Amino acid sequence: MPELRKDYITPTWVVIATERAKRPKDFKPETEEAGDPAKCPFCYGNEHMTPSEVLAYRKAGSKKDEQDWWVRVIPNKFPALKIEGEVDHRVSQLHNRMNGVGAHEVVIETPEHFEHMGTLEASQIAETVAAYQARYLDLAKDTRFKYIQIFKNHGRKAGASLAHPHSQIIATPMIPRKIMEEITFARTYYQQTGGTCIYCDIIELELEKKERIIYQNDAFVAIAPYASRFPFEVWILPLYHEPYFERISPQDKGLLADNMSHVLRSYNEVLGNPPYNFYIHTSPNTPHEHHSFHWHIEITPHLTNVAGFERGTGFYINPVPPEDAASALRDGKKK
């Protein structure tokens, strides 16, 4: 019998489709062309092909916009939102629009064209996490930006137009609906329970149940959420309550990278380098202190197609029970 499960927080329902159940080996991601490093704007020697860097971790004595960096951040050449101008919001009858003010940056995670987060050392991922934090703190000074979305597209099917490992940061002039939704439900729960964080309670419940835990270290836990929308969906949460990603300590950056590395290496081993997205959900960049939220990362592979039923209803159909996904990713070996 299929099972319908509701997300812990939002009114999102998932069909765990037992009649269509799949094992890891049933998913065969297409092999993708990695492209030619000589023509890759993110490779050493091609720094002139990108806009000038806004941040780089580079060897002592090396020059801006030249090689010898290990993480490099640049403005996106084709930005979804543009940095210039004041926010101009107009409503005319049922037409509600704003000019596209924002920021759009690219974080090049390594000079190694043929690597990715599923093969890189955790120490290199920690450098990328450090760049996320540094750019976040700088962008957050701009009060036009109400939310700063850090995310990654890995693989063409997940939206990556270049194969060289990179993440992106988009700052938006309003709080996006998915963030607003999580924050609103977390606040309601906080008020109803007299001061409890729903994410802290999720962690406690899942650590007690054990069957959806993938990996835990001293600061973070990776779980397959109870109502996983996508096969092999993973959430990485700080074990201790913290609403703001950007307040991460130096030590925890290493532990976050360790946790991300475990999950993404498992993806690579168990699912054969699948396309995926991850995105950080953190508190908005507004003066109000969001004490009831709990920042986290959601990682969602692209192994099935989102079709008319999903688009029409907002339900998801997932042929892999999250308990099976957690078991496979915990072991980290091809089944």
- Active-site residue set: 166
**In this chain, which of 22, 29, 66, 81 binds a copy of itself, going by CB under 8 A?**
81
Residue type at position 285? N
Looking at the DSSP bridge assignments, the partners of residue 236 are 222, 297
Q: How far is CA 145 from CA 81, 83, 141, 287, in A?
A: 11, 10, 8, 12
The residue among 30 and 38 lying less far from a copy of itself, judged by its C-beta, is 30
Give the CA distances from residue 323 to residues 119, 211, 234, 274, 333, in Å, rounded to whole numbers and listed in that order. Answer: 25, 6, 11, 19, 16
Burial class (CB in 10 A: 0-12, 13-18, 19+), 208: exposed
Q: Which stretch binds a copy of itself (CB under 8 A): 136-144, 196-204, 236-244, 325-333?
A: 196-204
Nearer to a copy of itself, 254 or 275 (CB): 275
Q: What is the C-alpha separation between 193 and 23, in angstroms, rounded?
A: 39
**Least distance in Å: CB of 45 to a copy of itself?**
27
32-40, 43-51, 199-207, 325-333 -> range binding a copy of itself (CB under 8 A): 199-207
Q: Is 317 an interacting residue with respect to a copy of itself (CB under 8 A)?
A: yes
Range 258-297, binding a copy of itself (CB under 8 A): 277-281
**Residue 294 Cβ vs a copy of itself, minimum distance, rounded to whole Å:** 13
Nearest Cα to 332, choosing from 271, 283, 276, 286? 271
Q: What is the DSSP letter of 101?
A: B
CB of 227 to a copy of itself, least distance (A): 8
Contacts of 227 (CB under 8 A, 6+ apart): 5, 6, 7, 8, 12, 13, 14, 322
207 near a copy of itself, judged by CB under 8 A: no
Rule CB under 8 A: which of 120-179 touch a copy of itself?
A: 147, 149, 151-153, 156-160, 168, 170, 172-174, 176-179
CA–CA gap between residue 39 and residue 59 (Å, rounded): 23
Question: Closest separation between CB of residue 14 and a copy of itself, Å?
Answer: 10
Backbone angles phi, psi at 150, to 5 degrees: -95, 130
Region near a copy of itself per CB under 8 A, out of 29-37, 66-74, 109-117, 201-209: 201-209
Q: Which of 38, 60, 96, 194 binds a copy of itself (CB under 8 A)?
A: 96
Shortest Å, Cβ 245 to a copy of itself: 13
Q: Which span sits near a copy of itself by CB under 8 A: 8-16, 25-33, 113-121, 215-223?
A: 8-16
